[in-house]
């Protein structure tokens, strides 16, 4: 399955992370208008993204 998410704001990043959490083998594409998406919301206490 391939999921395409439009928008790289907190909601878009959260949706992508949640989809991979539920189904690790899922392909996820994030379509953003910005040059750099907001990856900061996915950091854990060690500063790493899941």
What local confidence, expressed as pLDDT, does residue 46 receive?
59
18 domain-assigned: yes
Report pLDDT for 38: 67
Residue-level pLDDT at 12: 87
- The pLDDT value given to residue 19: 92
Q: What is the DSSP string of 13-33?
A: HHHHHHHHHH-TT-EEEEE-S
pLDDT on residue 11: 85
3-50 tens-digit pLDDT: 999 988 888 888 888 898 899 999 999 898 877 666 666 555 555 555
Number of domains in the chain: 1
Distance of alpha carbon 4 from alpha carbon 17, whole angstroms = 12
Helix (H) or strand (E) holding 2: strand 2-6
Q: Judge whether 47 lies within some domain.
A: no
Any domain includes 20:
yes
R_g (Cα) of the chain, nearest Å: 11
User: DSSP class of residue 43?
Assistant: B
What pLDDT does 6 receive?
Answer: 94
Whether residue 8 is contained in a domain is answered as yes
- What residue numbers bound the domain in which 28 lies? 2-36
Determine the Cα–Cα distance for residues 41 and 27; give it in Å rounded to an integer: 20
Question: Residue 43 domain-assigned?
Answer: no
């Amino acid at each position: 399955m391939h999921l395409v998410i439009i928008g790289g704001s907190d909601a878009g990043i959260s949706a992508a992370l949640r989809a991979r959490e539920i189904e690790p083998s899922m392909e996820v594409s994030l379509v953003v208008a910005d040059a750099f998406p907001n990856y900061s919301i996915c950091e854990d206490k060690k500063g790493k993204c899941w």
